Amino acid sequence: MDAQTLLDRLRREIGEIGADEAAAQAASGKRTLVDVREEPERAAGAPDPSMSLPRSRLELRLAESGLGAEQPLALICASGSRSLLAAETLRQIGFSDVRSVAGGFDAWKAAGLPVARGGLDADASDRYSRHLRLPEIGLDGQGKLAAARVLVVGAGGLGSPCLLYLAAAGVGELRVVDDDRVERSNLQRQVLHNDARIGIAKAESARATLEALNPRIRVDARVGRLGEDNVDALVADCDLVVDGSDNLSTRYLLSDRCVVLRKPLVYAAVHRFEGQVTVFDAGRRRGQSPCYRCLFPLPPERDAAPNCAEVGVLGAVPGVLGLLQATEALKLILGLGESLDGRLLCVDLLSMEFRSLRLRPDPDCPACGAGGAPLSVPGQVCASDGAG
């Protein structure tokens, strides 16, 4: 028997009830409304009033529900199919008066019936609905994102895609630091900006784009350069730092202070058609995780590090690397999966090859090794950095 034939049979044998009638009977206490969708689905909105009894755990949760076999029930799912299958299960174990809500929660919303938002207002429930449906994120994870503050240094080639996706994901506060202004040559890869904003400070241009994308978040735009006089104030109250800078002095200084202030640092660099990305977390995991100096103890000579204005860069390359940075940042905030801490992901987009290299902390590192004292170095522009 195919699925459609089975559902048609269940409609005849079990019977359906309209959303309006189900709401009226639930409000009067005549029939209990049971939502058989999974918990992440309910986080985006649920019939009010209703109780949750996910179909995937129906038998396990039934004993805890307090429902008796004689109690009249109306089951509701997303569109009316799972509720029929769940009703069949309940009927087989002795429930005598079970109905399925025709059209499910879609019909309930279309009828304008009461909806409980699970702690989120209607805008957030709609905006983040795909996150809320992921069991690994759900309402709790979206709350973590809303409570997070992320510092992104640089609103250029790497910072642009990273900031866009952090904003779209609902990271509560994005602090953007950049001392540069939008130039026409930036627009080939720095997708935060547009032609009308040439000459505008990149940090301010970033704020305009991000607030238009997601007005629920706060964008703290800092027009200026990160340096020894302000780095601690910029980093200290953030949950993590994303390095999208385009010079070595900033990279070394930022890494050193993240070690001292115990902040994870999401690093990426690009060069022509290639890039690399990793997470440095030596501040919180000293002796277990490397820092930037463990990978590059000293800056290269100036001639060994030509900038992208000299050698060029395919515009999509910093886009890919910036998206990887955003992914790592979101995973760190949510506590999901395995981060790139201790691994350097190398990307060659001409051959579309990805290689992962093991990075180990250097016990003699002057920044994070035993007895090391954080250092800083004179500024040098590096082509394999932020594609600024």
Q: Quote the DSSP letter at residue 302.
A: G
Q: Quote the DSSP letter at residue 297.
A: S
Nearest Cα to Cα of residue 128 among 339, 330, 340, 336: 330
- Across the beta sheet with 240-243, the strand order is 218-223, 173-178, 149-153, 240-243, 265-271, 274-280, 343-348, 353-358
Nearest Cα to Cα of residue 21 among 123, 90, 99, 119: 99
DSSP secondary structure letters along 183-250: -GGGGGT-TT--GGGTTSBHHHHHHHHHHHH-TTSEEEEEES---TTTHHHHHTT-SEEEE--SBHHH
CB atoms within 10 A of CB 135: 12
CA distances from 330 to 143, 148, 242, 334, 337 (A): 12, 10, 11, 6, 10
Are 36 and 55 in contact by the 8 Å Cβ rule? The answer is yes
As a whole number of angstroms, the distance between CA 77 and CA 112 comes to: 16
CA torsion 349→354→357→359, rounded to 10°?
Answer: 70
CB atoms within 10 A of CB 125: 20
Query: Active-site residue numbers?
Result: 308
As a whole number of angstroms, the distance between CA 203 and CA 352 comes to: 32
